[in-house]
Amino acid sequence: MAAAVFDSVAGDGPDVVLLHGLFGMGSNLGALARGLQHDYRVHSLDLPNHGRSAWTNSMALPELAQAVQQWMVHRGLETAHFVGHSLGGKVAMQLALEAPYRVDALVVADIAPVAYPPSHDAVFAAIGAVAEAACRSRSEAATLMAQHLREEGVIQFLLLSLQRDEAGVYRWRFNHPVLLSQYAALRAAPEPSAAFDGRTLFIRGTESDYVSDAYRPQIEQLFPQAEIIDMAGCGHWLHAEQPGRFNQHVGAFLDG
């Protein structure tokens, strides 16, 4: 994959790379970036087919990890700490498993190294409805999405990835046809070359079912040094629901 990866950088110190989730962009982890930039040089990436990064025809985890490696070479980074949420966590895990020499420490937010069943049918329906309607306002897009989605928070999250083109029509920043066609690859488990023996932290929301206790054997097998922390009262978007607590957990772990 020769995807050009868009990034933004803030702060000075050891390098930390932040990887966002599906349908997102690097700015989704902005609260964490601001919390870390006093002690670290923080790189917020847009994954391929998201945000301002290049569009490609594949979303296989090894290819996404390769795109991140190519970005590291371009930026002259030999190693970095990685923090990934959801899909970004899977990409970070894939990178750690196939290129452990690139990863100093790994933080995975509310995702496990397993294959997941499909669960985004309503989201894809909402995204498709907006794309077909050629909306000229965010409120029009929100109204369309509400016909498919009950969670206002999900609608507001998706609205962040709408941008207006030169004709005044709102278009998705992410490549939704490829995300749909590659949905099975996005749900797949990372493909390990070997276990990652480096420092690893999994943070999960107690109101989320993405990292159940049933997944502990897979976590322990692939990440034998892993620590798991629960954030009470949080769902899947724990970094946005309780940013202060989330930032504290990440900062304390990276500080070692």
Q: Is 27 a catalytic residue?
A: no
| Annotated active-site residue in 20, 43, 176, 236 | 236
Are the C-beta atoms of residues 144 and 162 closer than 8 Å to each other?
A: no
User: In the sheet that 41-45 helps form, which strands lie side by side, from edge to edge?
Assistant: 7-10, 41-45, 15-19, 80-85, 103-109, 199-205, 226-231
Residue carrying the six token digits 């907006």: 130
| Annotated active-site residue in 86, 148, 161, 176 | 86
Q: Is 176 a catalytic residue?
A: no
Residue of 198, 203, 249 lying closest to 225 (CA atoms)? 198
Q: Helices H, strands E: what count in the chain?
A: 11, 9
What are 9's two structure tokens? Answer: 């950088």
**Alpha-carbon torsion angle 204, 151, 116, 47, nearest 10:** -80
Q: Annotated active-site positions, please?
A: 86, 236
